[in-house]
């Protein structure tokens, strides 16, 4: 008896390598979901890790910096100056922990 496969659908899952209860410091959304800007989690909805190990959604920190009320400061510690073009307070490697 031979079996001929007519169609095959592969399915994969992934998770960020962070604690289950960790949330974005700005929008308070869980990282296994999406930030308010994105429809689907994934590479387009990256995490950013501040030098002080604070995790944030990339889109949340960019929106925070654009607001005049942010005054270019970190939303949690209010100390470091953040710049939209450099994101100097945030690691450029979203997977560095």
Q: For 43-70, what is the mean pLDDT? A: 66
State the pLDDT at residue 6. Answer: 92
Domain count, the chain: 1
Let me know if residue 79 belongs to a domain: yes
Q: What is the dihedral of CA 96, 41, 33, 95, to 10 degrees?
A: 0
State the pLDDT at residue 7. Answer: 92
Positions of E strands within the chain: 47-49, 55-57
pTM score, whole prediction: 0.47
Domain holding 37: CATH number? Answer: 3.30.40.10
Let me know if residue 93 belongs to a domain: yes
Whether the pLDDT of residue 96 is over 50: the answer is no
Q: For 19-35, what is the mean pLDDT? A: 72
């Amino acid at each position: 008896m031979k079996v001929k496969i007519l169609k095959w659908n592969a399915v994969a899952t992934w998770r960020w390598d962070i604690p289950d209860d960790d949330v974005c410091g700005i929008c308070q959304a869980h990282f296994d979901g999406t930030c308010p800007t994105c429809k689907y989690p994934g590479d387009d909805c990256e995490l950013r890790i501040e030098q002080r190990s604070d995790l944030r959604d990339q889109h949340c920190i960019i929106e925070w910096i654009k607001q005049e009320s942010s005054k270019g400061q970190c939303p949690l510690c209010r100390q470091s100056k953040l710049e939209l073009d450099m994101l100097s307070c945030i690691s450029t490697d979203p997977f560095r922990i």
